[in-house]
Structure 1
Amino acid sequence: MENITSESKSVLCTLLDKNDQSKYVFFTQKKPEGGINIGFTNGEGVWKTHLSEENLSPLMKTFSLKSTEDYTLKLKCACKTGKAFVEVQEDSAVLHLGLEPTDSSLTLSKLTDSEGRTEVKDLLFIMADSLTQQDNRGISSFSPIKSLQKRGTEFEVRNQLKGPSIAVRKRLPGDSLINPGTRRKKTATGVAFDEDD
């Protein structure tokens, strides 16, 4: 858990393998000591690489970017628009950041099973924390008092638009539905005659 909190914001999105159309969860993690981890997983295998500040600088010059955050946002945008895709090989994978073969690409190494399980576990906690933060932002922006005040004004405006309101009399038990204001008549039960009298 300490590992997750020490790493700052992550970018999460999905990627496709162009060969078999299988989906992967793509993630980036900015490291506090500098550079970023880039990886993806299908839940079973994990492929990952670390880009140091020295490795990032030529990439940022190529794309005319100013910061590491700009680079991670470019990666996320490429994933969302379908311009990023992966080619998985036996012990590595290639992440392509464009539709042309000449576009930028990164080689990622496949992690061992134990490293992969740890990475997937960390990724699940990052996702859960991200969802919790989104929920908390939604809750803090919701105020019952403000929403009641808004509802009250909505109803007042609607009533003013309708014109004068007509008083509706409450239907009492036993009142007729067809002819309001009159009581329903009970069905006759008849008179029971005793033969003894």
Structure 2
Amino acid sequence: MDHGSFQTKPTYCTLVNQNDSSKYVCYSHTKAGVFNIGLTNASEVWSTDFTEEALAKHGKKFALKSAEDYSSKIRLACGNGGASVSVQEDAAVLHLGASPDSLSVTLSRMSEPEGTAELRDLLFRMAESLAQQDIVGGPSSDSPGKSPFKRNTGFEPRRQLNGPTVTARKRLPGDSLINPGSRKKRPATGVAFDDNDDL
């Protein structure tokens, strides 16, 4: 694994545990040349570090070529409900798949002062990530150059894609709205009866 492939953007995803439906935040990032995977239920924190050599050894077993591959596998497993957590006394095992030979990572429970500091750092990293997305104009999954604001075209008139274009005729004053080809009729003024016709 080359040194460039060891770098990765921070990733964050939520995980609903298959075993007991408890919720976790799973995250990964690279700091000072160490790739870190962490897990928290907002009160306890579990974490593990991978040096470049350890990640390469682990990656060879599960066909992962880079730290980015590792992060993508975590996001995918969390997103499709394939991730689960087994909490032990001083560790937690993150399973990224249902089969026994699926990728699993053992994370150590962080003690109280370090765990609190890690939660604080995680909160600020997530806030900075959201702020950067707002500045850039949306999540990184959007294509560059596209507006993050998509128009809702559900109530717009449909346009004719092929064939001759029909231009609307301008309505002249006095034309009927119901029957545009005819002029409006003037209202009746009444009938004049002569008294002489009765004789």
TM-score bracket for this pair, using the shorter chain length: 0.5 to 0.7
Cα 1:166/1:10, change in 2 over 3 Å: same
2:110 corresponds to: 111
Give the CA deviation at 1:141.
6.2
Q: How does 1:33-182 map to 2 (within 5 A)?
A: 33=33, 35-138=34-137, 163-166=168-171
Q: Distance in 2 between matches of 1:106 and 1:54?
A: 16
Q: Among all aligned residue pairs of Structure 1 and Structure 2, give the percentage whose two residues are the same amino acid.
A: 46
Q: Which amino acid aligns with 1:164?
A: R
Give the CA deviation at 1:40.
0.8
Q: Distance in 2 between matches of 1:103 and 1:12?
A: 21
Runs of 4+ in 1 over 6 A off after TM superposition: 139-143
TM-score by length of 2: 0.64
Unaligned stretches of 5+ residues in structure 2: 1-6, 139-143, 148-155, 160-164, 174-199
Cα 1:161/1:114, change in 2 over 3 Å: farther
1:9 corresponds to: 9
Secondary structure in 2 matching 1:25: strand
- The total of aligned residue pairs comes to 150
Q: Which amino acid aligns with 2:104?
A: S
Give the CA deviation at 1:119.
1.0
Q: Distance in 1 between matches of 2:53 and 2:109?
A: 23
2:31 corresponds to: 31
Task: Deviation per CA, 1:156-181: give whole Å up to 9, x if none.
Answer: x9xx966134489xxxxxxxxxxxxx
Q: Distance in 2 between matches of 1:166 and 1:123?
A: 65
Cα 1:136/1:30, change in 2 over 3 Å: same
Give the CA deviation at 1:19.
2.6
TM-score by length of 1: 0.65
Secondary structure in 1 matching 2:75: helix
